Structure 1
Amino acid sequence: MTANPFRSLDIGLRRRLDGLVPGDHEGTRLGVGSEREEVVRYQPGDDVRRIDWNITARSTELHVWRPRADNQLDTWVVLDLSPSMAFGTVTGEKRDLAAQVVWAMGELTEAPGNRMGFAVLSPDGITWSRPDRARFAARRCARLLDTIHHREGSSTPPLGDALDEFGRRYRRAGLRIVVSDFLDPDGRSDEPFDWQRPLRHMAARHDVIAVEVTDPREGDLPDVGSVVLVDPESGRQRHVWTSDRDLRLRYRAAAAERRDNVRRAIVSTGAEHLTVDTGRDWIRDLASFLRTRRRTLRTAGRAGHRPHRS
């Protein structure tokens, strides 16, 4: 891993992030703001500067527009740096990609009054940070990665426990981002997962984005003959003959089933699901996700309710 994972994010990537709704957080209730929300009949005390003259002329009664609230956004990130995240077969490890995603989220939520805090889950336990300006907090999170070193067979507190504690600590409504590979240390591949219940509780109060970090080799075993596979969580080793076609097919099917189960479990909690992969253009995946999310939030705001709630 490089001394600073953001050095790989050159000016070209920064330009690609420009325009991805930086600092854009639309409120869902009426209040002080600048964007029009609805037009109503004038009442004594209403701001005469907000008279809608077009509707007033058509209805012959004074009408004023009410603004949508411009809310300050509190973002908290749970970053899973368990040993399984120290794996990568393309351009870097999953933990490197996770750090870049956190950096991007810091850039995108940067705006006056917005803050970001984070909790890092690692073999050392849970490390909590104080909230700060989103951009500064994301960079501080990246520097923390250089202090975390995995030992073979080292264990990490369950993600579910971290989310439980996280929910008890920070209850003010805002944006919550969980960045993890969602791999169970015990190898569990079907529901219920230990993180489902606390993630559901979190999504009932906050806007939650679950970012699943993957690597191509986790879904497809290559034909490279005899290899020794090491479980990063337990340190157990196993010799595998990868030239066995039936073995590769069973591996691929099991991996696909696990990912489908994780996706369904995340969606069932009411959280939004974003997948980034070390072998894909994660900026493009993030851009597509944010464009879809922006349209969904605007539609839900006009309907008068919050999206993605179960």
Structure 2
Amino acid sequence: MSKLLSPATILAIRDLQLAARTVVDGFLTGMHASRMKGVGLEFSQYRSYQPSDDLRWLDWKMYARSDRYYVRQSEIETSIDIQVVIDASNSMLHTEEGISKIDYARYLAASLGYLTHLQGDATALSAISNGDITTLAARREARHMARFYYQLEQLHAGGRLPEQANITSFTTGPHKRRLMVFITDFYEHNAEVMRLLDAFAAMGHEVIAFHLTGQQEQSARFSGYQAVEDLETGEVLQLDGNVDATQYTQAWQAFTVNIHRHLMENNIHYRMLSLQAPMDMALRDFLLHYSKIRR
């Protein structure tokens, strides 16, 4: 992956839509167009254009031959809703090398939104912060994407996760199968994240969980620190220079293994993402499951 697409470089782009386009265009470079455009799409038939149809579905070759407007019906019937859910609780303020989890999450969500909009699918956005949930309903229009990026720009981490989240807060509009993308650090007090993910899966949605972590966080690199603070509870732990790296690493591995095992048992895809790593792995995982749900 080019250094131009490193998280530090991408997050330096203040225009969120421009940053998303940079990530996606860089990811798509070198990939065959037919592999990306209309993934899992099987053409069925044409039908006459209706005023409510998206202009992107028009077949201009058919128009050139017949002087009439037609749309490819299969594209309309197989379009899906994508729901991006961001954990914006206090723990997402954790920062390494100038990159915070919440900023990585915002830019990853913007990139996913840009990619799904290219595919002609409707994208929704939900954020959990300060014990509350805000949701921007799924739409396909360009104006909706402007609101999508605006909501991400205004998103700030704070507070704790709600003890009992109302699942209907995430899926406004007609009930249909969705691709749910949850971006979180999996720090919870009473299985709040796990309960949400389990509920999404029980509703029949395809679910991807992206686990944001930092390299210091994974390897107990706390040299130079006298104490660490739990960003959600405010609890301070004095280090006194006595962090057992081996014991810490074992505890970290047990923590992530338990998460992965639980999600696998519920058919939820799990991917750990380092704050220092480019976002291409997340985009690849997303497209894999995007293709699966469109079959």
TM-score (norm 2): 0.70
- The 1:236/1:9 distance shift into structure 2, 3 A limit, reads same
- The structure 2 residue matched to 1:106, chosen from 101, 105, 113, is 113
**Pairwise mapping of residues 20-59 of structure 1 onto structure 2 (< 5 A)?**
22=36, 24-26=38-40, 32=44
The two structures, once aligned, show a CA RMSD in angstroms of 3.6
The equivalent residue for 2:227 is: 228
The one-letter code of the counterpart of 1:237 is: V
Equivalent pair of 1:181/1:212 in contact (CA under 8 Å): yes
Equivalent pair of 1:4/1:143 in contact (CA under 8 Å): no
Worse-superposed segment, 218-227 or 271-280? 218-227
Q: Which structure is larger by alpha-carbon Rg, 1 or 2?
A: 1
- The structure 1 residue matched to 2:180, chosen from 176, 179, 182, is 176
**Pairwise mapping of residues 146-295 of structure 1 onto structure 2 (< 5 A)?**
146-150=153-157, 154-158=159-163, 161=165, 163=167, 165-166=169-170, 171-184=175-188, 186=189, 193-204=191-202, 205-242=204-241, 244=242, 247-283=244-280, 285-290=281-286, 293=289
Equivalent pair of 1:106/1:137 in contact (CA under 8 Å): no
Partner Cα separation in structure 1 for residue 290 and residue 181 of structure 2: 16
**Pairwise mapping of residues 84-95 of structure 1 onto structure 2 (< 5 A)?**
84-95=91-102
The one-letter code of the counterpart of 1:161 is: A
Identity of aligned residues (%): 18
Equivalent pair of 1:31/1:70 in contact (CA under 8 Å): no
**Alignment: residue pair count:** 253
**Pairwise mapping of residues 66-77 of structure 1 onto structure 2 (< 5 A)?**
71-77=78-84
The one-letter code of the counterpart of 1:253 is: Q
- SS of the residue corresponding to residue 170 of structure 2 reads helix
Equivalent pair of 1:106/1:134 in contact (CA under 8 Å): no
- SS of the residue corresponding to residue 286 of structure 1 reads helix
Equivalent pair of 2:81/2:123 in contact (CA under 8 Å): yes
Structure 1 unaligned regions, length at least 5: 35-66, 302-310
TM-score (norm 1): 0.67
Structure 2 unaligned regions, length at least 5: 1-10, 47-73
**How far did residue 16 of structure 1 move?**
2.2
Deviations 1:78-136 (A, max 9, x none): 11111111112135111111112212211222247521111111116111113223876
Partner Cα separation in structure 2 for residue 129 and residue 165 of structure 1: 10
The equivalent residue for 1:14 is: 25
Deviations 1:113-168 (A, max 9, x none): 521111111116111113223876565444334434456xx33314x625464358
Q: Comparing both chains, which one has the higher relative contact order based on Cα–Cα distances under 8 Å and sequence gaps of 6 or more?
A: 2
